[in-house]
A and B are shown apart, each in its own frame.
Chain A
Amino acid sequence: MPSRRNLLIYGVGAMAALTLQLRLARVAHAATVTNKRMIIVILRGAMDGLSAVPPYGDRDYSRLRGDIAIGAPGAANGAINLDGFFGLHPALPFLGERFQADEMAVIHAAATPYRSRSHFDGQDVLENGAKTPMGALDGWLNRALTLFSGSGQALAIAQTPSLILRGMAPVGSWAPDVLPPTQDDLMTRLAMLYDEDTLLGPALQEGMRIQTMSGATMGDGATDNKIKNAASDNLAAMATPVGRMLADPFGPRIAVFEMTGWDTHYNQGNFKGKLSNSLKALDMGLSSLHASLGSAWADTAVIVATEFGRTAAVNGARGTDHGTASAAFVLGGAISGGRVLGSWPGLAKNKLYEGRDLMPTSDLRALFSAALIGHLGLDAVDVSTRVFPGGPSAGKFAELFQG
């Protein structure tokens, strides 16, 4: 049975029957792949966890936040209540509804091991799964993929995968395309030229495979103009086509979305404003994913995480500066949710990290490990030695993925 790898080895000779072989390859992969879906949403720019999941019950919260604080549940434009201490930003009604349905959990005061305040290094650590920005040159999700047999299981919703998916395992990327696809004959001729190119060849192969798949899943006219013209970091627009691909029995199992616009140094707003708009877009996007995944939602875990949090106090410009711990969301039909996990360090001055940021009490790598083991079924030893060497064990987060 030809696999994608064999296709590469067959090289030029295999190209004549490319389409057929790609279809066969899809079937071959499906036999080796988990039925579970995992979706990672990376929020670039440092989402303010103290506004997204306001600890309205903390006595220091409203004082620190001033006029960007989110009101308590029941107050005008106040938070959606979660557990009597934490709330959800009012722009997150879908997440609130999933929490009520026990399909959403929050991990608060969570962070990667990174403790400086550079977005780019922080995102590298979030994505490489190491302790430092240069601690690994590949992504933790790619290392996890190498533990599966077969390929074609992960899709970056972007033109080019970001670090989290870069590495040894082949991954694809996809974003809706406004130009007509290149005709098969020319594509076949080009594929021959790319065949011996070790850097570009595999990427072209993967692109051709995904094009076949996305066409088969959605039909040729299924991506409407609104979607075709949307940017790949527009989660709400990408959610529908990507959800359909993930729902396809022969589609990818893992997808990574990226959203920008979280770096709210200036006028971040409270129940309305810049941050509220970003949260609303996130909530709508997740809601669209829920809808488009259909029955596959029951097998889905979505993790929403950011590189670090923001200062506990409002800054001089009614915004917040780079901080340390933030909140992460986990949701999906496969989640045992309805709770806020992580230990709350408090917001008193002496409880803050370096006197200014929410103190991290949970390591995001523990959450990721729990998802890889409990949800995708990877071996715990493999995860601790090959995906997150030197990282924490899944610990209490294992509960989230016990179905």
Chain B
Amino acid sequence: MLTYLDNVASIGPNSAYGLRRNRGLNENLARELLELHTLGVDGGYGQGDVRALAGMLTGWSYASVSKAARSIGKPHAGTYHFDEGMHEPGSKTLLGKTYKWEGKREVDRALDTLSTHPATAHHIATKLARHFIADQPPLAVVARLYNIFLDSGGDLGVVTHALIDSPEAWAEPLTKIKSANEFIVSALRGLNIDITDKNLIKSLDFLAQMPFSAPSPAGWPDTADGWIGSEALMRRTDWAVFIAKSAREAVPLDLLNDTLGPVADTNLRSAVQRAPSTTEAVAMIIASPAFQRR
């Protein structure tokens, strides 16, 4: 995040370095920290809060690789590094609360507040329920997770247990559409085959989910309409054929029972039984509507 969202280039305008080089703040990490990682876009912060948090974040960087190589044995090499000389001096006011000038401790103090804020609880509860239960998650689940988040002081382990214990998480029919990554991994696991790392990466790229290349800092789509364009679906079909050809040993009905079991309806079952070849039967299971869901 320090590099991806430009914090390494954000300099306190009144810091020693900022004054000497006439450099200043870069708001990128501060804004996304509030919008994407804690409060959420409607979490009640303003432009002044973004600037304040950006000020607190100034100075946080890492020792560069070349510097690390030159300074083997020194504590900062290749690790997080706080540079006081780039840190914006003075107190900062975030969400109406004033934080005293404390250098590297400021961000920790701010995160303590942000991570247990009700807006954060709502944001995280919604995201978890959307990811694991439904694109439009039942409000009751979100409310339950929200309360547990707040009661536990933002303990994600406790919140996750509550999510797993939610009956809504196990309700049928399945509604979540698999991401490309989930689709590929579930097919490979179901077929119990290995493909080369190169082919795995190519497959993920082919279905628009190249690792470490999410389209924006908001991450990968988490709802059906981000994954089921006509081109995307045609590609899943093409990929199903490709992978079925690599799984010559597969037994179609075993695959069907192991991966879809009761979710496979009679149409799919009989289509698989009538398929002209093993490859086509396997491709049909993986390309089937049921296999696109989780």
Chain A residues within 8 Å of B, Cβ to Cβ: 44-45, 116-121, 133, 156, 158-161, 166, 172-175, 177-183, 185-187, 189-190, 192-194, 196-197, 199-201, 203-208, 210-211, 232, 260, 263, 265-267, 315-317, 319, 321-322, 354
Question: Does B102 lie at the interface of the complex (its beta carbon under 8 Å from any beta carbon of A)?
Answer: no
0 or 1 for each of B246-276: is its CB under 8 Å from A? (1 = yes): 0000000000000000000001100100011
Query: Given A173-B230, A317-B26, A159 and B235 touching (CB < 8 A)?
Result: yes
Task: Look across to chain A and name the residue whose beta carbon is closest to the beta carbon of B27.
Answer: A321
For A120, list chain B residues within 8 Å (CB).
Answer: 35, 41, 216, 218
Question: Does B57 lie at the interface of the complex (its beta carbon under 8 Å from any beta carbon of A)?
Answer: no
Known: A172-B229, A179-B239. 4 other contacts (CB 8 A): A194-B289, A199-B228, A263-B28, A316-B23
* Chain A-chain B contacts (Cβ-Cβ < 8 Å), number: 170
For B31, list chain A residues within 8 Å (CB).
Answer: 117-118, 322
List residues of B (185-236) whose CB comes within 8 Å of A's CBs. 206-208, 215-218, 221, 224-235
Find out whether the CB atom of B26 lies under 8 angstroms from the CB atom of A179: no
Find out whether the CB atom of A44 lies under 8 angstroms from the CB atom of B216: yes
For B225, list chain A residues within 8 Å (CB).
Answer: 160, 166
Interface of A is mostly: loop
For A185, list chain B residues within 8 Å (CB).
Answer: 276
For A211, list chain B residues within 8 Å (CB).
Answer: 234
Query: Given A160-B227, A173-B231, A203-B228, A197 and B41 touching (CB < 8 A)?
Result: no
> What is the minimal beta-carbon distance from A402 to any residue of chain B, in angstroms?
35
Question: Does B89 lie at the interface of the complex (its beta carbon under 8 Å from any beta carbon of A)?
Answer: no
> What is the minimal beta-carbon distance from B272 to any residue of chain A, in angstroms?
10
For A354, list chain B residues within 8 Å (CB).
Answer: 47
Q: Bin chain B's interface residue count.
A: 35 or more
Find out whether the CB atom of B11 lies under 8 angstroms from the CB atom of A260: no
CA distance A50 to B263 in the complex (A): 55
CA distance A193 to B9 in the complex (A): 53
Task: Look across to chain A and name the residue whose beta carbon is closest to the beta carbon of B268.
Answer: A193
Find out whether the CB atom of B284 lies under 8 angstroms from the CB atom of A186: yes
Question: Does B242 lie at the interface of the complex (its beta carbon under 8 Å from any beta carbon of A)?
Answer: yes
CA distance A197 to B287 in the complex (A): 13
Question: Does B151 lie at the interface of the complex (its beta carbon under 8 Å from any beta carbon of A)?
Answer: no
For A196, list chain B residues within 8 Å (CB).
Answer: 267
Query: Given A316-B11, A316-B24, A159 and B231 touching (CB < 8 A)?
Result: yes
For A181, list chain B residues within 8 Å (CB).
Answer: 234, 238
> What is the minimal beta-carbon distance from B212 to any residue of chain A, in angstroms?
15
For A183, list chain B residues within 8 Å (CB).
Answer: 241
Find out whether the CB atom of A315 lies under 8 angstroms from the CB atom of B26: yes
Query: Given A159-B207, A160-B225, A180-B238, A210 and B6 touching (CB < 8 A)?
Result: no
